[in-house]
Amino acid sequence: MPIYQAPLRDYQFVLNELLDIYNQKELAGFDEFDPELIDAVLQGVADFTTDIMLPLNGSGDVEGCKLIDGKVITPSGFINAYQQYVDNGWATLTCDPEYGGQGLPEVVGLFATEMKTATNMAFAMYPGLTHGAYAAIHVHGSEELKGKYLEKLVSGEWTGTMNLTEPHAGTDLALLRTKAVPAGEGLFAISGEKIFISSGDHDLTDNIIHLVLAKLPDAPAGVKGISLFAVPKVMVNADGSLGSPNTLCAASLEHKMGIHGNSTCVMNFDSAIGELVGEPHQGLRAMFTMMNQARLGVGIQGLGVSEIAYQNALNYAKDRIQGRALSGVKNKEMAADPILVHGDVRRMLLSQKSFNEGTRALMGQQALWLDKAERHSDPLQRKKAAQLAALFTPIVKGFVTDQGFKACVDAQQVFGGHGYIHEWGMEQFVRDIRIAMIYEGTNGVQALDLVGRKIMSDKGAALKIWSEEVKAFVQGQLGNEAMQPFVVGLMAAAGDLEKATAILGTEAAQNPDSLGAASFTYMQLFGITSVAWMWARVAQTALAGLESNTEEQAFYQNKLKTAEFYMAYWAPQTRSLLKQIGAASSLICEFDEADF
Amino acid sequence: MPIYQAPLRDYQFVLNELLDIYNQKELAGFDEFDPELIDAVLQGVADFTTDIMLPLNGSGDVEGCKLIDGKVITPSGFINAYQQYVDNGWATLTCDPEYGGQGLPEVVGLFATEMKTATNMAFAMYPGLTHGAYAAIHVHGSEELKGKYLEKLVSGEWTGTMNLTEPHAGTDLALLRTKAVPAGEGLFAISGEKIFISSGDHDLTDNIIHLVLAKLPDAPAGVKGISLFAVPKVMVNADGSLGSPNTLCAASLEHKMGIHGNSTCVMNFDSAIGELVGEPHQGLRAMFTMMNQARLGVGIQGLGVSEIAYQNALNYAKDRIQGRALSGVKNKEMAADPILVHGDVRRMLLSQKSFNEGTRALMGQQALWLDKAERHSDPLQRKKAAQLAALFTPIVKGFVTDQGFKACVDAQQVFGGHGYIHEWGMEQFVRDIRIAMIYEGTNGVQALDLVGRKIMSDKGAALKIWSEEVKAFVQGQLGNEAMQPFVVGLMAAAGDLEKATAILGTEAAQNPDSLGAASFTYMQLFGITSVAWMWARVAQTALAGLESNTEEQAFYQNKLKTAEFYMAYWAPQTRSLLKQIGAASSLICEFDEADF
């Protein structure tokens, strides 16, 4: 069975040393926690995920979910584990205290999610989707709706889902056909078929609150005619008790590549009774307000699974003996050297390690921007943080899941033939994490969002804020000898990004389609550069740590060494990406349909 | 169900126009076939694979193999399909006419294998492994052994396997524990456990000939003490009839990520009777002489599955309507445009298309080198071809399966959520092809073979032959205006490769371990450059076709356009790879075990 050691020291490093979250007193509620509390929470989640969730990961994959007599049965052990999850209060971390939540920052919730996803992605999706439903109702629901559903969603007593996709409508929600007809007393009858519904039905809780996108009879055409409804699996009486079953069901389970422990359902709504969430026809806008959180939540899956895959690959590389080092025998007592002596095994592991740690820092920064956007006392700071979070949302989703998948493939590769065999767990990581590149907007859609909405529509305003932050950082480090390797690497990458952005501007004016052709490559370039920025900041923080903390010299030295590797291995990729953007984008558009 | 259209026109292009195989009269046996015969063979394989093998691919994956009462049951339909395969003579194409083969060139067999792998990789592995066993006995077996086994292996009446790996010994065969004890009359009793044995047991044929690596009692330590044995599942009497069962069995089936239709077995040999193939203790050398063919056979899997994945992604992209082109509505009659209008979908498809066609040309070239090495009348030409084939063996295996896997992941991505669902077949392609990066020597081992044996040990002799061929080609095209875009792209990539090779030389002298650290990146750089070389040659051939063939102008124009795309999108990647090699390789070796 795969091992897992929650990266708690790295969480402390990011939260305390790099992001300094304990001194952000302008953020409402940030004065209510201290390192002791946060460490205890993260330690608790680490224990729960390692002891309870991880042992169910492989068995959940083999067993999968079953649909029997219209009800979904989750894999053995899931019901019990979920009950403990609820009892321990792990569902409540970042939720509103008014409804039983603990009001902890996003950045803490983020790392809790990393551990959950690392140890059991399929299981983690049940509470994960619930959190989305909670957020939708919390932000857009009426007081009545909030009173009815929020406490039970916060506690985890009930779960939630998001019903968007239909067979003919995925990315393009304008094509939705699900209908909502007024049924009196503020209620609506929802009818239609939804597919790919994660946690659509299960046996973990008594009720499931489905958030469903549908069209009202008077809906304008297109995306401006979509409304959002809360549709319970079981009707809820005025006193909060459960009434009769609603007219909806899981029609079938999707046969998926991975995340078998999560019930991905085809859902049928047959005049199911629901209530409007937010204003009529404003459903897509309601979804969009939660998008930054939701996409960060998928991005962290890319990191979480990459982290556990790395840990197991490293463990195997230390343990497995095979062949000898090119420079001669290292391990005379044994018949062969551990494969960690081989340069290519090291290359794969260091690529993963430097990606994981750098990305963890970036995602922490993104979560803190989300916190600032919501909690900062200064409206200008709130606005600035919101702009930055919007800009980086496609990066933390699209770039991180893309590279996280590749990291898992590399980790699997370290195992040789054993990586292809189920028992070792590595092939499951690859199958599971593959979905993160697709759902919550494919990574191609993320790239389009980045170049279209976040760069072009915005006329580069958010990018400018960030670029100036990078420039100021570089400026501040120019006199610092120890920082030079990192500053030089960051400057080269940032320079390539600047040139690529200029090309985008020209392309957009001449041929909008070639903007699309460049988008994914641009997102990669942006992602690599932004992680280079984080590694430079990590290096700065590590140099400070070296001076102030005599007991953990090895930890900080390791950060510097890993930063150096990132600058040598990852950062130079920007050069080719820039060349690809310049040379290939317009060419891609010149191919006629018949040319493919 | 996935569609498949065998790329017959591209095969003709590579065989006839690019490689000119019908005018290689110095190659023994090359005068015995003509375009009509080869076209008929390839058309026959195309029909068989599309009509018979493809429909069993998805069902074979779902059903998998079963081990019941010590016997492996293959998925429904496999027995019947295999019988037709044998009856049609598809097993015999490239085999020795003396034993019932058709003596066709490797390059023809290669493309037959591409079609088989594309339509049903798991099924194709049964005859694929047989061919390996055939080759081992054909090259190294005694006349008696050849007489006993070859005709039935050539016809496909019996199948063969390769038993190398043991639980503790994969890449490092020096660690083997399987024993062979003389049992009189030139026979040996083989005992031990082998794992990952493809086609280890099945119900397709009456007998299976296992080629097994084992150690004789007087074996010297290490890889020079390994012998090769032919061990039949059922003993063969002197008259060729089947005798009693041998004492070997499939102990269990491996639970794999993919290729479920192929029976990957743990094999137990319990004093099983076998005969020596070749000289005692020379087993590994015997395996090595077949290595170039075997690795080309795995490389072509990378191309075959990438090709069918591409075809289906393209088909879906034309059919699926979702969203609108960035430049405005393209398809007014429909509610949305086909997703082929989107630049990023096109980028993924063109990346696949240019990889597939360029790689097909490279693999054709490699197969022709193998043919030349064996059949050319001039010993100097034979030697030169053998050197080139040896140099490119790690490329066609390691680079092609690596990028072929990525191409399949991209093709899956084109399908959005549907790509993750089994019914569409795309996720199976990804799971199936993943093994090709691992078996027959992991791609990391290929990279080590490239930099160690093929570049350094050889003192760059083979590389020099190839480099001069590239330089001569470039020189010859300098005055050709139409060829400039391709020559420029090729020169830039080749220049980066030259610089990278120089760095390797320095590294090897200073620190052999960092040679290993650079090896994989170097293999990528080499692969991209060699496909750029092929695309430049394809462009030259296409320009000639444009002049001589007025009926297929679109075909040749398309080749030029795709070549241009390759030079714009793939070729520039060499720049970053060179930078990575220079900056990261020695750094990778400086990490201590505790630093990971």
SS3 state at A293: helix
Q: Is B486 on the interface with A (CB under 8 A)?
A: no
Residues of chain B with Cβ-Cβ distance to A341 below 8 Å are 513
Q: Quick check: B296 and B318 in contact, CB under 8 A?
A: no
A34 CB-side CA count, 13 A = 1
| Beta-strand pair A234-236/B159-163 | unpaired
Report the C-alpha gap between B527 and B399 in whole angstroms: 6
Q: Give the distance from residue A99's alpha carbon to the nearest chain B alpha carbon, in angstroms.
A: 34
SS3 state at A572: coil
Q: What angle do CA B384, B385, B389 make, to 5 degrees?
A: 120
Do A575 and B580 lie within an 8 Å CB cutoff?
no
| DSSP state letter for B17 | I
Report the C-alpha gap between B421 and B425 in whole angstroms: 8
Do B345 and A444 lie within an 8 Å CB cutoff?
yes
Indicate the fold that domain A8-140 takes in CATH. Answer: Butyryl-Coa Dehydrogenase, subunit A; domain 1 (1.10.540)
Q: Quick check: B129 and B202 in contact, CB under 8 A?
A: no
Do A580 and B568 lie within an 8 Å CB cutoff?
yes
Report the C-alpha gap between A591 and B561 in whole angstroms: 8
Give the nearest chain A residue to B440 (CA atoms).
A417
Q: Is B417 on the interface with A (CB under 8 A)?
A: yes
Do A595 and B434 lie within an 8 Å CB cutoff?
no
The position carrying tokens 């030409």 is B381
Q: Give the distance from residue A568's alpha carbon to the nearest chain B alpha carbon, in angstroms.
A: 5
Contacts of B310 by beta carbon, 8 Å cutoff, 6+ apart: B349, B352, B353, B356, B407, B411
Q: Is B520 on the interface with A (CB under 8 A)?
A: yes
> In this structure, what token pair is assigned to residue B353?
């298309």
Q: Which residue stretches of B19-88 are H helix?
A: 35-48, 57-63, 78-87
**CA trace torsion A187, A189, A193, A199 (10° rounding):** 40
Q: Is B513 on the interface with A (CB under 8 A)?
A: yes
Q: Quick check: B258 and B435 in contact, CB under 8 A?
A: yes
Report the C-alpha gap between A256 and B422 in whole angstroms: 6
pLDDT at B509: 87
Tell me which H or E stretch contains A193.
Answer: strand A187-198
Compute CA distances B290 → A139, B127, B129, B136, whole Å.
66, 16, 12, 7
Q: Is B59 on the interface with A (CB under 8 A)?
A: no
A158-282 CATH choice from 3.40.50.1100, 3.40.30.10, 2.40.110.20, 2.60.40.10: 2.40.110.20
Q: Which of residues 134-173 of A touch B (CB under 8 A)?
A: 165, 169-172
Q: Quick check: B261 and B120 in contact, CB under 8 A?
A: yes
Report the C-alpha gap between B65 and B60 in whole angstroms: 8
Q: Give the distance from residue A380's alpha carbon to the nearest chain B alpha carbon, in angstroms.
A: 33
Do A565 and B572 lie within an 8 Å CB cutoff?
no
Do B591 and A170 lie within an 8 Å CB cutoff?
no
Compute CA distances B582 → A119, A269, B304, B578, whole Å.
37, 59, 34, 6
Q: Which of residues 308-327 of B touch A (CB under 8 A)?
A: 314, 317-318, 321-323, 325-327
Q: Is A505 on the interface with B (CB under 8 A)?
A: no
Contacts of A300 by beta carbon, 8 Å cutoff, 6+ apart: A110, A113, A114, A117, A363, A396, A400
> In this structure, what token pair is assigned to residue A302?
């890319």
Amino acid at position A573, single letter: Q
Which CATH class for the B8-143 domain?
mainly alpha
SS3 state at A505: helix
Compute CA distances A240 → A158, A185, A205, A243, B549, whole Å.
12, 18, 15, 9, 79
Q: Which residue stretches of B511-572 are H helix?
A: 512-548, 553-569
Best residue of A315, A342, A576, A586 to probe chain B, by most B CBs closer than 10 Å: A576
Contacts of B203 by beta carbon, 8 Å cutoff, 6+ apart: B71, B72, B73, B74, B79
Q: Is A194 on the interface with B (CB under 8 A)?
A: no
Length of chain A: 596
Which ipTM was obtained for this model?
0.98
Residues of chain B with Cβ-Cβ distance to A485 below 8 Å are none
pLDDT in tens, A93-120: 999 999 999 999 999 999 999 999 999 9
The residue among B585, B583, B473, B480 whose CA lies nearest residue B530 is: B473
Residue B193 class from Cβ within 10 Å (0-12 exposed, 13-18 middle, 19+ buried)?
middle
Contacts 24+ apart (CB under 8 A), B547-555: B554/A594, B555/B9, B555/B13
Q: Which of A343, A583, A595 sits opposite B519 (nearest CB)?
A: A343
Q: Which of A344, A516, A558 sits opposite B517 (nearest CB)?
A: A344
Answer whether residue A286 shows pLDDT above 90.
no
Residues of chain B with Cβ-Cβ distance to A448 below 8 Å are 326, 342, 344
Best residue of A284, A577, A588 to probe chain B, by most B CBs closer than 10 Å: A588
Q: Give the distance from residue A537's alpha carbon to the nearest chain B alpha carbon, in angstroms.
A: 20
Architecture of domain A290-441: Up-down Bundle (1.20)
Q: What angle do CA A421, A426, A427 make, to 5 degrees?
A: 60
Q: Quick check: B18 and B537 in contact, CB under 8 A?
A: yes
Q: Quick check: B283 and B220 in contact, CB under 8 A?
A: no
Length of chain B: 596
pLDDT at B257: 98
Report the C-alpha gap between B406 and A406 in whole angstroms: 9
Report the C-alpha gap between A559 and A543 in whole angstroms: 9
Facing residues of A252 across strands? A266
pLDDT in tens, B525-552: 999 999 999 999 999 999 999 999 999 9
Catalytic residues of B: 440
Report the C-alpha gap between B538 and B513 in whole angstroms: 38
Q: Quick check: A232 and A247 in contact, CB under 8 A?
A: no
Report the C-alpha gap between B18 and B541 in whole angstroms: 6
Q: Which of residues 234-273 of A touch B (CB under 8 A)?
A: 254-258
Confidence of residue A290 (pLDDT cuts 50, 70, 90): confident
Please give the CATH superfamily to which domain B290-437 belongs: Butyryl-CoA Dehydrogenase, subunit A, domain 3 (1.20.140.10)
Q: Give the distance from residue B421's alpha carbon to the nearest chain A alpha carbon, in angstroms.
A: 5
Least confident of A57-66, A122-131, A495-504, A508-517: A508-517
Cα A468 to chain center, whole Å? 26
Do B580 and A561 lie within an 8 Å CB cutoff?
no
Report the C-alpha gap between A366 and A572 in whole angstroms: 24
Do B342 and A444 lie within an 8 Å CB cutoff?
yes
> In this structure, what token pair is assigned to residue A555?
């930890």
Residues of chain A with Cβ-Cβ distance to B318 below 8 Å are 593
SS3 state at A278: coil
**Roughly how many angstroms between the first and final C-alpha of chain B, as a whole number?**
45
Residues of chain B with Cβ-Cβ distance to A319 below 8 Å are none
| Beta-strand pair B159-163/B208-214 | parallel
Do B579 and A575 lie within an 8 Å CB cutoff?
yes
What is the sign of the dihedral through the CA atoms of A596, B4, B10 and B14? Answer: positive
Tell me which H or E stretch contains B502.
Answer: helix B484-510
pLDDT at A142: 97
The residue ranges of chain B whose pLDDT is under 50 are none
Confidence of residue A288 (pLDDT cuts 50, 70, 90): confident
The single residue of A98, A440, A551, A593 carrying the catalytic annotation is A440
> In this structure, what token pair is assigned to residue A546?
């070296």
| 3-state SS string for B424-461 | HCHHHHHHHHHHHHCCCCCHHHHHHHHHHHHHHHCCCH
Residue B489 phi/psi, 5-degree rounding, is -60, -45
Tell me which H or E stretch contains B408.
Answer: helix B400-414
Do A588 and B347 lie within an 8 Å CB cutoff?
yes
Residue A581 phi/psi, 5-degree rounding, is -60, -45
Q: Is B586 on the interface with A (CB under 8 A)?
A: no
pLDDT at B125: 98
Report the C-alpha gap between B300 and B402 in whole angstroms: 12
pLDDT at B285: 87
Q: Give the distance from residue A559's alpha carbon to the nearest chain B alpha carbon, in angstroms.
A: 9
- The DSSP secondary structure of B232-295, one letter per residue, reads ESEEE-TTS-EEEEPSEEEEEE--BSS-TTS-EEEEEEEEEEEEE-SSTTBHHHHHHHTHHHHH
Longest dimension (CA), chain A: 82
Which CATH class for the B157-280 domain?
mainly beta
Q: How many CB pairs under 8 A join A and B?
A: 272
> In this structure, what token pair is assigned to residue B562?
């795709």
Do B171 and A416 lie within an 8 Å CB cutoff?
yes
Q: Is A586 on the interface with B (CB under 8 A)?
A: no
**Would you kindly state where each structural domain of chain A is located, as residue ranges?**
8-140, 158-282, 290-441, 443-589
